[in-house]
């Protein structure tokens, strides 16, 4: 295979539900050898299994089929179970649960033909207002993030997929979302060494398969250059100082963090910096053409491409085939949710008195950053335990007058479902809802938060607060049971 033809192996395309159809534009890219991998987003599990079998049959080399399943198989595979997020693992403080989280995620992903999972997140929770990390992180203790992150990675690898730590050299101390713009970290290098770099150093020592770079500038490492295109950071810090010889994958080239460079320029500089995989360009065919031009005019050197191809082949040799079925993960998800649930503040209403049915306000953001089921699991559990309770599912910026009036008359459970998300900004509560809740008697409120710990600041100072870190069904049921039965909350908030 010529170097021009092999350049396609360095480009990984995106697959959304329409791309799973036979004869899609993606299939033409695969058949023509213009991409060496595919990253799938929010697709039906069964359809993906059928599609990956077709894709592998038409590819000249085994395709890397990658997925963002940080929160378990249900995150991107419709019809599969959502797990509590990584911060729940930190609250449970169990390397064994971390390993099992990774292993089960791997097995269920493999049952759909996936062979690489973009996890674990190794970013330290350095800045609570961070708009893109939140409960994706394993906490604020670098050494603990390192230990638990390596356990997740080893679980993924034990389950038969490649693991990819992210986002090197750390996205936890950023006030901006790199999907939108280029964040800047101003911390001194010695601070980064003691904090951000600790988990990545541990993952490199444990021989994790891959690392994903951050579209973040680190002033004390390489001025204002995004890490993805920095030879100092990728080639020097990651490759040489940390001794990492696995795959280095860029974060998505279509993101705003490298937007000022343009996708082709970002891709060229990323390869020159030491990256191997160019993730999710908006125009795969155009990028392949531009890379061929750069190779022909000497802007891109043959030895750079050959080194990346060698690392890709080494990783490809470890890829495992799809499997027919995976074990039921329900018991694991429930065990993790029960061990992670955290009592932040008891208040006078915890546990809820059995004789006084509460009003339950289900505040779930519309779309994928709210609860997968809109809070229905929590609502059902409350309705079954308190036949007279009144449920108000709310997904907009206002509380109906009837809800407010009813909430003033007795105990009020505020169930908040929110998390960080790409292009969204920080998790939170719309100002209109905050103002409406401020009119309710604070001592009669009990807050159940399904999201990052930063959301606990929204609750009144004298209200009881319970925290579940994620909005998956198991976490909802775990908090409901704590309210109803007064069961002990064993989790310890890791921030």
Q: How far apart are CA 99 and CA 83, in angstroms?
A: 13
Residue 358 contacts residue 493 (beta carbons within 8 Å): no
CB 204 within 8 A of CB 242: yes
User: Tokens representing 396?
Assistant: 């907009």
CA-angle at 193, arms to 187 and 198, nearest 5°: 120
Cβ atoms of 68 and 95 closer than 8 Å:
no
Q: Residues with Cβ < 8 Å from 377, sequence gap 6 or more? A: 371, 473, 476, 477, 480
Q: Quick one: CA dihedral 98, 93, 148, 164, positive or negative?
A: positive
Q: Any bridge partners for residue 117, and if so which? A: 67, 163
- 132: closest CA among 141, 121, 140? 121
**Residue 248, SS3 per DSSP:** strand
35 Cβ contact list (under 8 Å, min separation 6) = 8, 11, 12, 13, 29, 284
**3-state DSSP helix/strand/coil % of the chain, to nearest 5:** 45, 15, 40
In the annotation, is 141 catalytic?
Answer: no
Q: Which position has the token pair 């179970």? A: 81
Reading the block at residue 328, the tokens are 């039921």
- Contact between 333 and 472 under an 8 Å Cβ cutoff? The reply is yes
Token digits of residue 24? 């899609």
User: Which listed residue (167, 171, 179, 288) is catalytic?
Assistant: 179
Question: Catalytic pick from 19, 251, 276, 290?
Answer: 251
My answer on whether omega of the bond before 253 falls inside 30° of 0, hence cis, is no
Catalytic residues: 179, 251
């Amino acid at each position: 295979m010529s170097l021009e033809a092999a350049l396609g192996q360095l480009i990984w395309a995106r697959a959304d539900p329409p791309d799973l159809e036979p004869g899609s534009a993606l299939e033409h890219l695969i058949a023509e050898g213009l991409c060496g991998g595919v990253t799938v987003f929010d697709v039906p599990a069964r359809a993906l299994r059928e599609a990956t079998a077709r894709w592998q049959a038409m590819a000249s080399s085994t395709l890397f089929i990658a997925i963002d399943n940080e929160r378990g198989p249900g995150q991107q595979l419709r019809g599969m179970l959502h797990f509590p997020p990584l911060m729940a693992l930190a609250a449970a403080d169990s390397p064994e649960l971390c390993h099992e989280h990774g292993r089960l995620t791997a097995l269920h992903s493999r049952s759909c033909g996936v062979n690489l999972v973009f996890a674990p997140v190794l970013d330290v929770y350095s800045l609570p207002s961070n708009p893109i990390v939140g409960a994706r992180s394993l906490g604020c203790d670098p050494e603990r993030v390192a230990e638990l992150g390596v356990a997740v990675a080893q679980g993924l690898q034990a389950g038969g997929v490649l693991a990819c730590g992210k986002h090197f050299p750390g996205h936890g101390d950023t006030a901006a979302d790199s999907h939108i713009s280029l964040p800047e970290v101003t911390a001194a290098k010695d601070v980064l060494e003691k904090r951000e770099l600790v988990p990545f150093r541990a993952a490199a020592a444990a021989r994790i398969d891959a690392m994903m770079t951050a579209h973040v500038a680190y002033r004390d490492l390489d001025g204002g250059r995004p890490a993805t295109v920095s030879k100092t950071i990728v080639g020097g810090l990651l490759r040489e100082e940390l001794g990492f010889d696995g795959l280095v994958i860029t974060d998505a080239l279509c993101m705003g963090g490298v937007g000022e460079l343009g996708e082709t320029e970002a891709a060229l500089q990323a390869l020159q910096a030491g990256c191997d995989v160019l993730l999710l360009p908006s125009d795969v065919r155009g990028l392949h053409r531009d890379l061929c031009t750069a190779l022909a005019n000497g802007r891109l050197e043959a030895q750079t491409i050959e080194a990346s191809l060698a690392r890709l082949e080494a990783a490809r040799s470890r890829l495992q085939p799809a499997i027919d079925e995976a074990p039921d993960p329900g018991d694991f998800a429930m065990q993790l949710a029960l061990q992670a649930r955290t009592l932040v503040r008891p208040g006078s209403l915890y546990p809820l008195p059995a004789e006084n049915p509460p009003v339950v306000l289900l505040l779930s953001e519309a779309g994928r950053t709210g609860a997968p089921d809109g809070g229905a699991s929590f609502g059902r559990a409350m309705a079954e335990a308190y036949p007279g309770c009144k449920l108000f599912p709310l997904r907009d910026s206002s509380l109906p007058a009837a809800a407010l009036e009813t909430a003033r008359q007795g105990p009020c459970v505020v169930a908040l479902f929110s998390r960080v998300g790409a292009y969204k900004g920080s998790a939170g509560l719309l100002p209109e809802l905050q103002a409406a809740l401020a009119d309710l008697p604070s001592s009669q409120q009990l807050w159940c938060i399904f999201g990052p710990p930063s959301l606990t600041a929204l609750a009144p100072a004298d209200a009881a607060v319970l925290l579940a870190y994620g909005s998956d069904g198991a976490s909802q049921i775990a908090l409901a049971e704590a309210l109803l039965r007064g069961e002990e909350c064993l989790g310890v908030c890791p921030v």
